[in-house]
Amino acid sequence: SAAAASDAAAAAEAQSVGRGPLDRAPKVLGRQTDPREIRSPVEIFWFEQGLAARLRQSKSLRDTLEAAPRTSLKRLGEAAPSAAEVRERLDVSRAITRGRTIDGEDLGGLLSEGVDEEGCFTPPLVVASGELAFPFDEQELLKVTVSVVTPLVGVDKRLKEAVDSAAELSRSTFRAPGEVVSAHLVRIREAFGQTSRALTWEALQSYVERLALEGRSYQRRALLGSEWIRGALGLSGGRALVPSYLPSNVGTSLPLIQRLPVRLIAELRPRQDELEQATEALFVVALGRVVQAPRQR
């Protein structure tokens, strides 16, 4: 009956509203890339499980996926144990290599595109490319520096005082401001340089940074109910680096390289940290490194 149909429609609408903005079909926005063309090969490190279904809920990206040339699944089968996972990896690969990309000037307008007629914001999915850097956590870097310099203190009283003071700060349960940590590092460096040594400060600093990289001592932020690795993405046309967050457990999937040319898919959200200069933030759902393929002779 008409009444039953009306009740069913109302129930469906109520269920849809109850799901909340994060469950709605995401939009995929940005500058168009010809879906038949791959600009650069990409090595995919990680993508969110179930991402392919989210991508295909967007008409714009679904059209991009369907316009891409047919690809044999045989080669991709080596990287996934099931046919469903192979197909998902193929969809993500197509989206990340052929999807339209954004630049820094697009971000504000794209955020407004995420607002629906009810005034509810749904984070749009965007495809972006640029250099992604992973800054080290300042306090963790100080801790590594202290552990490396301590055996070299010897009878150097000034260096010992600098190291002891830094060690006390590094053990603190409170996060010290970056300027305070930097001041301790400068004090250690100056004391270290007062005496002629076989090891230069530059060599020691390189060793410390390598240890920090191997220890995945990235900056981390607690946001949206989870812990995230904080990266910084440089986009063309952007006035500031865009904070780009990856799930904390993705750290071991990253190569031991602090700066990478990447292509990624991310949720675009308003700034989540008042200390960031950029007014937008990216929450990454798929990440790949742009591979510089050798030129064909």
Query: For the chain, what percent of residues have pLDDT higher than 70?
Result: 79
pLDDT confidence of residue 19: 33
Q: What whole-number distance in Å separates Cα of residue 112 and Cα of residue 57?
A: 19
Higher pLDDT, 218 or 6: 218
Residue 258 scores a pLDDT above 90: yes
Structure tokens at 87: 């197909």
Other CB atoms within 10 Å distance of the CB of residue 94 = 22
Q: What whole-number distance in Å separates Cα of residue 172 and Cα of residue 182?
A: 15
pLDDT confidence of residue 206: 96
**Residues 47, 286 contacting (CB under 8 angstroms):** yes
Owner of token pair 């590094």? 170
Q: What whole-number distance in Å separates Cα of residue 259 and Cα of residue 240?
A: 16
Residue 243 scores a pLDDT above 60: yes
Which homologous superfamily does the CATH classification assign to the domain defined by 21-135+218-290? Nucleic acid-binding proteins (2.40.50.140)
Residue 247 scores a pLDDT above 50: yes
Residue 96 scores a pLDDT above 50: yes
Structure tokens at 103: 């630049």
- 271-286 average pLDDT score: 95
For residue 18, the surrounding DSSP H or E stretch is helix 2-19
Nearest alpha-carbon partner for 25 in 249, 221, 267: 267
pLDDT confidence of residue 174: 86
Question: Per this entry, what is the length of the chain?
Answer: 297
Domain parsing of the chain, residue ranges:
21-135+218-290, 138-214
Global pTM?
A: 0.80
Distance of CA 31 to the CA centre of its chain: 20
